[in-house]
Amino acid sequence: MSQLDLLLSVPKLAELVKQRTPASQPLPFSQLYRQGGVEECDGDRVIFEKRLYDRKLAGARTVESEAFLKPMPNRKVVEQGLIHLTSKRILTPKQLYWGSGIGMQLRANAASHVVDAVEQIKGEIHRGVEYICTELLQTAGGVSLTPANTDFPAGATTISDTMTIDGALQTFGVGAGWNVASTGIISGTNQLTDAIRQMEANGHSPHHAIHSRQLAKALVKNTEVKEWLTTNGGLTVEYFKQAINAAARMQGDEDIAFTPSVWSGIGGLPSWLDWDHGYENNAGTFTRYMDSDKMVLLPRELKRVLGFAEGYSFIPNNVQVFGNAEQGADLFRAERGMQVYAYRTIDDVGNIVVVGRYTFAPIIRDEFGVLTLTGLGT
């Protein structure tokens, strides 16, 4: 086996990737879904079951009475299509070799070219997964997976579809912006307390409050929040102003991403998560995943609400098929999870093509366990 074959074999590609970039692993929102459990899918769709339990009281009866008969829990089967993300890079012979001819040698930095290509591909896929997971929690109309969506690179999307939640995204519009000093974020009408009560009425106790750094800046301006922190938390105003930036430094590090911020405890919510990471849209503009005027409330028991499905990607085998058609099955193999592989083009150039594929779907098991607050102001 040649040096290049060793370098570009699929196991080697995985080994060469250095975990040095923020997008080398699943980002925070996709981690949230994964905490709800990962479903393994054998086809091109995921099928999962939603169970809706009522919270009515048991009846008071005499000792000789038969029990009051209640219907079985409402069980609904949901079928949802998987999403396929893919990206590739082309490496030319010039990038890998000193020159052409007999005895040509690989460049000393040839491996780094491959590593960079794999890292870029993995980063793009992780960011794509994060975008879809985040948008599903924030956008009532669903996630646009169409060529017209300018968040995706121009020409990168070939399907025309919109991913939606079975049921409807639960939203709560606040009565006044949180960037106004006099807004009663905790005590006011149609504010945080009422949003929490709405979620509790739907059978879930909110625990996580996910927001952007821009919203944290809005909280600094609010009198009620400052009083809550300085009186109940014993903090100075200057301290929590400085803590805004520190709380948002997560960029894919799980330990930091799920560390509650300085705001935690406000309104009785144990975990305020300040997530301000982003991506670059097709105009080259850095864009935050989390909208600046929204907050997403989720319960502690994420398994009741979220989930994550992983399907198969088809990877070409380096074989030639001759004879009967049954040998066609040897052309591909199916692999689950993110796959990165390489192949040579059969032409007069002989470029190396590095390809990444991932098949997945975020799952909302119970739409009543997600509440998006809107109109918060920045």
Verdict on whether the full-model pTM lies above 0.75: yes
Q: Is residue 61 part of a domain?
A: no
Full residue range of the structural domain in which residue 163 is found:
3-51+75-374
Non-local (6+) Cβ contacts of 24 within 8 A are 17, 18, 119, 122, 123, 126, 252
**pLDDT, tens digit, for every residue of 206-232?**
999 999 988 988 888 888 888 877 776
Average pLDDT over residues 327-338: 74
Specify if 60 maps to a domain: no
- Distance between CA atoms of residues 147 and 154, nearest Å: 7
Average pLDDT score over residue span 349-353 = 81
Note whether 374 and 175 are within 8 A (CB): no
Residue 66 falls within a domain, yes or no? Answer: no
Is 64 within a domain? no
Q: Is residue 330 part of a domain?
A: yes
Tens of pLDDT, residue by residue over 276-320, are: 999 999 999 999 999 999 999 999 999 999 999 999 988 877 655
Worst-scoring range by mean pLDDT, 75-79, 259-263, 266-270? Answer: 259-263
Residue 138 has pLDDT above 90, yes or no: yes
Residue 194 lies in a domain: yes
Question: Is 231 inside a domain boundary?
Answer: yes
Look at strands 38-40 and 271-274 and give their pairing. unpaired
Total domains present in the chain: 1
Check residue 97 and give its pLDDT.
Answer: 67
pLDDT bracket for residue 236 (50, 70, 90): low
Lowest mean pLDDT among 90-99, 172-181, 221-230, 232-241: 232-241
Mean pLDDT along residues 139-166: 94
- Rounded CA separation 355/314 (Å): 11
For residue 34, give the CATH number of its domain. Answer: 3.90.1690
The span from the CA of 167 to the CA of 314, in Å, is 32
pLDDT in tens, 31-89: 999 999 998 888 888 998 887 777 888 899 999 999 998 888 788 889 999 999 999 99
pLDDT higher than threshold 90 for residue 248: no
- Flag whether 85 is in a domain: yes
Encoded amino acid at 106, one letter:
L
What average pLDDT does the segment 239-250 reach? 48
pLDDT, position 75 = 83
Give the model's pLDDT for residue 4: 56
Residue 154: its pLDDT value, please?
93
